[in-house]
Amino acid sequence: MKVYYGVDEFPQLKGVVLTMGTFDGVHYGHRKILKRLLESAKVNNGHAVVMTFHPHPRTVLFPDQTDLRLLSTVTEKIELLASMGIEHLIVQPFTLDFSKLTHREFVERYLINQINMQRMVVGYDHQFGHKRQGNFDELLKLSSEFGFEVEKIPEQDIDEVVVSSTKIRNALLTGNVSLANQLLSYNYSLCGEVVKGNQVGRTLGFPTANIYLSDNNKLIPSDGVYSALAYVNGVQYKSVVSIGNRPTFNDSKKSIEVHLLDFNRDIYNQNLKIEFVEFVRTQRKFDQIEGLIQQIKADISIANEHLS
């Protein structure tokens, strides 16, 4: 997949079939639209093009709101779209000036004059342009004026299984990663750098990799213990992930700790990807260290069952 950081980088192509949106998480509902995009491009002997926006529009339009939590970073979104077979991706910078374009200005200036779009595929509830005043009916009017075709994916096709980014976020925030994975159609993941912690896990006989996330908007699942798959240099390992503030040690700092099973190498400063599989238990405080050690052993046993 070719990635263009702005429409100015996009080459002149014939037969462009385009869809656009934030596509946070590239979940099941998004994939229905993207699959139709690919089918339409193939039938029309054209090129499947996706336009998304970065940073997320909410961070630009409402900078004082700090509660936005995203299902995918821009890097993860690129990987997910590439895995679907999308040919061309435009990551359009989203600015305040850009947000003030009317839907007509946006279509004429960007989609027609610069991208040379011939066909557009959108979901039934698609909105765009200043104050989201553009919709499917407006696209139909503009299609007659500018000579492109527009196709709407019906509500029943997208909502065959009720999916929304909000529903997925709520599932993750309550620890229900199995439901989130079902709605996403893949395992929810975090990726970050392994940094040094206080090495308590090592003294207990269960060394952990502490993960630092560089994107503050990336959603972290609810505090608790999870079975997960970890990837070091592309190699998969079974693992147990603990998210929280380590109540047994009265630690007020929240951390993401990963214990990789059958693994004992130094991976400081390396990137580690973890895919959540199942919720194991909530965080709890132990009066004695021996109680914590026995619980960790039980967590590992449960994780092995989940991952077998």
Active site residues: 257
Q: Is 140 helix (H, G, I), strand (E, B) or coil?
A: helix
Distances (CA, A) of 83 to 31, 77, 90, 188: 11, 10, 16, 15
From CA 268, how far away is CA 155, in angstroms rounded?
47
Cis peptide before 55 (omega within 30 of 0): yes
From CA 262, how far away is CA 253, in angstroms rounded?
28
User: How does 199-208 read in b/e, with b if 16+ C-beta sit within 10 Å?
Assistant: ebbeeeebbb
Q: How buried is 119 (Cβ within 10 angstroms: 0-12 exposed, 13-18 middle, 19+ buried)?
A: buried
25 close to 72: Cβ distance less than 8 angstroms? yes
Structure tokens at 69: 């939590």
71 close to 25: Cβ distance less than 8 angstroms? yes
Distances (CA, A) of 104 to 12, 25, 118, 242, 253: 21, 28, 16, 49, 49
3-state secondary structure 189-211: EEEEEEECCCCHHHHHCCCCEEE
Q: Is 39 helix (H, G, I), strand (E, B) or coil?
A: helix
From CA 212, how far away is CA 194, in angstroms rounded?
6
Q: What is the DSSP letter of 112?
A: I
